[in-house]
Amino acid sequence: MAVIPFSTPPHPVASLANLTPFTISVPDAEIERLKVLLDLSPIAPPNRENSRKDGFFGISREALVGLTKYWQDEYDWRKWESTINSFPQYKITVSDDDSIPYNIHFLSLFSTNPSAVPILLLHGWPGSILEFLPLLLKLRSQYASSGPASLPYHIIVPHFIGFGFSDPPPVDRDFTYVDNARLMAKMMGALGFASSGYVVQGGDLGAMTAPAIASIDPACKLVHVNLLNIAPPPGTDVEADMRGGKYTPDEVASMMGTGEFMKRGTAFLKLDGWRPSTAGFLIGSNPVALLAWLGEKMIAWTDETPEKDLILTNVALYWFSGCYPTSIYHHQLVVDNPGASMDGWKTVDVPVGYSWFKKELFNPPKVWIDHMGKVNWYRKHDKGGHFPALELPDVLWDDIRDFVDEFWGK
């Protein structure tokens, strides 16, 4: 078998970490079973709510029927499986502080340049490694002709615990983004990046986890996020400040959007957070249900709806890995203790970069960010939503690169 370019880790990895090449290979029988289930799963007849096309009541029947039919008749999983498999993939075993081992799946692009900067890219929910596939394709294309020595970065894209082909969380205790942060830090150490240091970037769950990593691991030198869910400074009268012109029109529009999302768009948090067992059975046991639940978010939370193949590949990764029931654990913390999801910021003392995308679910005004006193680099964009790595990979990468260039090693 030919060696995949950019596949050589730059440092020796201890045998206990059991670094093993990995290939996604869904059995033909599972693909056929999926098609049978898609054919047999009834979709509710038209009614007032599912006939509305603007997403006010959730995904429309028209969108769900169209995506389901395309998934069954035209979508080619093998094409996307092959694309993902064209990148170096590994599983690595990381032992937690209680000595329990976890296997973490990740994609990578490794450089042979001794000065290459390691960058850990963290997906969100309902995302996966697919979020960063366009960015990986871009980087590989850019540096393919000149080879691994020309790549100025090591790129590591893991599935969080509970997602994709990484291990599920334990069955005998709670598991939160803080646990993920600890395991991601241990993974980067096992890969040999403790001495050089590394950068962490993330959105959604990744944006919760990134500052937590920086808070516990001195090797994490920089943090970049594209979601920043922070409270207003104490004593702030938001409505009065809006009337007084303290915020820009884009910031006002964003806060209004966040208010509407909190009022009507957070049903998933309550179901996943308070009834995760039921949600796991209900949504994880049927591909049309899974498509409706995840596809709704990928449509509603983006600035421009992604291509059908991207929506379906993300959903297919959940389906074939069976991970939906184990991917929603972090929603319990969000609904029970919302403030705790941003506790990682309290002790961050490394440079932080933040990219503001216009249609992100949470976008604090610049004056709130300045009061927070943690963000050293800021860039605002007039488009883009909750999945910028998928929606605008060139834009997000330019932000990451410019931030790293400005602060790495300083």
* Distance from C-alpha of 193 to C-alpha of 378, rounded to nearest angstrom: 26
CB 258 within 8 A of CB 238: no
Q: Which of 204, 272, 303, 399 is catalytic?
A: 204
The SS3 call for residue 20 is: strand
329 is catalytic: yes
Pairing between β-strand 198-202 and β-strand 117-122 as defined by DSSP bridges: parallel
Tell me the CA distances in angstroms from 8 to 13, 48, 81, 195, one per residue in order.
11, 55, 21, 18
Residues 6+ apart with CB under 8 A from 145: none
Residues 6+ apart with CB under 8 A from 244: none
Q: Which of 198, 330, 386, 399 is catalytic?
A: 386
Six token digits for residue 231: 């409270």
CB 156 within 8 A of CB 189: no
The SS3 call for residue 67 is: helix
Upper half-sphere CA count for residue 23 (Cβ side, 13 Å): 9
SS percent in the chain: helix, strand, coil, step 5: 50, 15, 40
CB 128 within 8 A of CB 210: no
318 is catalytic: no
Q: Which of 90, 153, 329, 354 is catalytic?
A: 329
Upper half-sphere CA count for residue 407 (Cβ side, 13 Å): 22
- Catalytic residue numbers read 204, 329, 386
